[in-house]
Amino acid sequence: METLVRVAGRIRDSIEKVIEGKTDVVDSTLTVLLAEGHLLIEDVPGVGKTQLAKALARSIDCSVRRIQFTPDLLPSDVTGVSIFNQNSREFEFRPGGIFANIVVGDEINRASPKTQSALLECMEEHQVTVDNATYQLESPFMVIATQNPIEMEGTYALPEAQRDRFMARVSIGYPPVGSEIAMLASHSAANPLDDLDPVTDAAEIRKLIGVVNQVYVADAVRRYTVALTAATRANNELALGASPRASLHLLRAAKAHAALHGREFVLPDDVRRLTGPVLAHRLLPSASAAMHGRSVTDILETIVSAVPVPQT
């Protein structure tokens, strides 16, 4: 556990050389990494969505690939394709962009639903099936996707099945004034990404993921997690509640959150703090709630406050 906290601190410090004044967002990113999840970064242009993804990727000495999602991107560009070799007279598989430890999917909602669906199997099962052959993806495997919720022209909304595979969604937001002034001083002459060196590697991340898996969860915390997700399904203001996969993601994220704070057990507060990033993007408001100006965040806060917190 001490090693986990120390390595996570080095990764955090490395990322904050690029993304200043956003410790909460960086911690959420580390939580998703150690929980073996995938991260959706949704925010307006120019706040550092891609920079955050690149900074994490460069801080870990592992394979990294970036996929620029565009309307003409094909599923085979993501997963790979079989090509006929004239010399051997056989088909050979050429891996696509998804074959990496960390995959940065830039502007994921610019690609067609057909291409977006190529990620479904990869994100859920950590494998790719092409021409009846299955190829395993190396651990750790994390997809960090970005999208712009403001500029909707020429975009395709992510389907519910796709959004449900992202463990968490974060928004970076505008930096504090002091951090933005510091950014003008440090980023104007050179890109800080160019000087970023790895502070750990894939093998160590795999060990830390194993540590997170051993974090203790009491039965009361499990029941509390299910109570939260079940409450979203029974709420009249929501047309779509959280899935059982959301319950699993919420608990795994809570275990990583506890480990990052040096604890070998999960508290109900770990679960409660992560309900927003883990659940909000999976929920759909009802027509009545939308007409009354009730956002998903407002509804979720009401639900969380109504569910009794167990005393541990």
CA atoms within 13 A on the CB side of 89: 0
Pairing of strands 133-136, 168-170: unpaired
Neighbours of 228 (CB within 10 A): 24
CA-nearest of 205, 201, 196 to 58 is: 196
Report whether 24 contacts 128 (CB < 8 A).
no
Question: What are the chain's domains?
Answer: 1-189 (3.40.50.300), 215-306 (1.10.8.80)
Asked whether the whole model's pTM tops 0.85, one would answer: yes
Taking only the tens of pLDDT, the chain with its 312 residues reads 889 999 999 999 999 888 888 889 999 999 999 999 999 998 888 888 888 888 998 899 888 899 999 999 999 999 999 888 888 888 888 999 999 999 999 999 999 988 998 999 999 999 999 888 899 999 999 999 998 877 666 678 888 889 999 999 999 888 888 888 888 877 777 787 888 889 999 999 999 999 999 999 999 999 999 999 999 999 999 999 999 999 999 999 999 999 999 999 999 999 999 999 999 999 999 999 988 889 999 999 999 999 999 876
CA-nearest of 303, 280, 301 to 40 is: 280
Instruction: Scan for tokens 């996969």, then name that residue.
Output: 245
Instruction: Scan for tokens 């899935």, then name that residue.
Output: 243
CA distance 183 to 191: 10
How far, CA to CA in Å, does 13 sit from each of 142, 172, 304? 20, 17, 32
